[in-house]
Every structure is written in structure tokens, then in C-alpha cells.
């Protein structure tokens, strides 16, 4: 049986899935990263403005997928603002579980880590010093 706290966290995931934050293609993004989960077809593109100190000033996402990948992307865009690129690129499954507030099976972990992997797989950057 699930306790009340688990239900609240699941509700938060569903809320971010139904009402994603920062779901748009960020105009003039310094960085664009993209990844796809080959097993399920979920696809996420991450956009970011980054200042000269490699601090993320704005992050957004676009993509389609399950509730977990969409909620994880939404939550990540909020969490990443004000953080250094390196800190976000080094996030782990445990970090993502804390952000989502739920434990993840191996299959669901792939969905939750998709926005992090997209940010690691930079496909476009406008400043050479942002090379990963």
C-alpha cells in the first residue's frame, strides 16, 4: 500500500506532465542538446542560455514521451536555472529521483534521465568555450 507522501509525489509528476514548465524552443539558445530513448521512442531536446561563467540562465525543452520523461524535463528546466552546466551534466539517477520525488525502476530511470542525457549530447552551441 502506498503512503500519502508517495501519492503526493506521483501527483506532482502527473501535474508536470499535464502542465509542463518551460516547454518551448528557446529562441537564440546558446546550447541545444537532443536525445532519444530507443526503447520507447521518447525524444527530448533541451535548450539553454548560458552565461560566460557556464551558468544556465534559462532552460527549456521540447519533445514527446511518457509522463516520466516529460515531467523530468519540466522539473529539470526549473531546477537547472542558476546552476553550472557541469552540475547538470553530472546528475545521476539518484539526483533525478530526488527531483521527481519517486523511486524509479531501471526502465523508468531511462525515461527520467533522458533530459540529462539530452543536455550531455550537445548538438549545437554558439560559443566555442561551451564545448563539453
Averaged confidence pLDDT in the chain: 88
> Please, which residues have CB within 8 angstroms of residue 59's CB and are 6 or more apart in sequence?
22, 26, 46, 47, 48, 49, 76, 77, 80, 81
What CATH number did the domain enclosing 54 receive? 3.90.1010.10
Please, what is the Cα angle at 40 between 38 and 44, to 5 degrees? 70
Residue 38 pLDDT grade (very low, low, confident, very high; cuts 50, 70, 90): confident
Higher pLDDT, 57 or 132: 57
Residue range of the domain that includes 31:
4-130
pTM of the model: 0.87
Residue 24 pLDDT grade (very low, low, confident, very high; cuts 50, 70, 90): very high
| Number of domains, the chain | 1
Residue 3 pLDDT grade (very low, low, confident, very high; cuts 50, 70, 90): low
What's the CA gap between 108 and 124, in Å, rounded? Answer: 27
Chain segment 96-117, per-residue pLDDT in tens: 999 998 888 888 899 999 999 9
Amino acid at each position: 500500500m502506498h503512503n500519502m507522501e508517495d501519492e503526493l509525489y506521483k501527483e506532482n509528476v502527473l501535474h508536470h506532465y499535464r502542465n509542463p514548465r518551460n516547454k518551448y524552443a528557446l529562441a537564440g539558445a546558446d546550447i541545444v542538446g537532443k536525445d532519444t530513448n530507443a526503447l520507447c521512442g521518447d525524444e527530448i531536446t533541451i535548450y539553454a542560455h548560458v552565461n560566460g561563467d557556464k551558468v544556465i540562465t534559462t532552460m527549456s525543452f521540447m519533445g514527446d514521451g511518457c509522463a516520466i520523461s516529460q515531467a523530468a524535463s519540466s522539473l529539470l528546466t526549473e531546477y537547472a536555472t542558476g546552476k553550472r552546466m557541469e552540475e547538470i551534466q553530472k546528475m545521476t539517477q539518484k539526483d533525478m529521483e530526488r527531483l521527481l520525488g519517486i523511486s524509479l525502476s531501471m526502465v523508468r530511470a531511462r525515461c527520467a534521465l533522458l533530459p540529462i542525457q539530452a543536455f550531455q549530447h550537445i548538438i549545437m552551441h554558439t560559443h566555442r568555450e561551451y564545448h563539453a
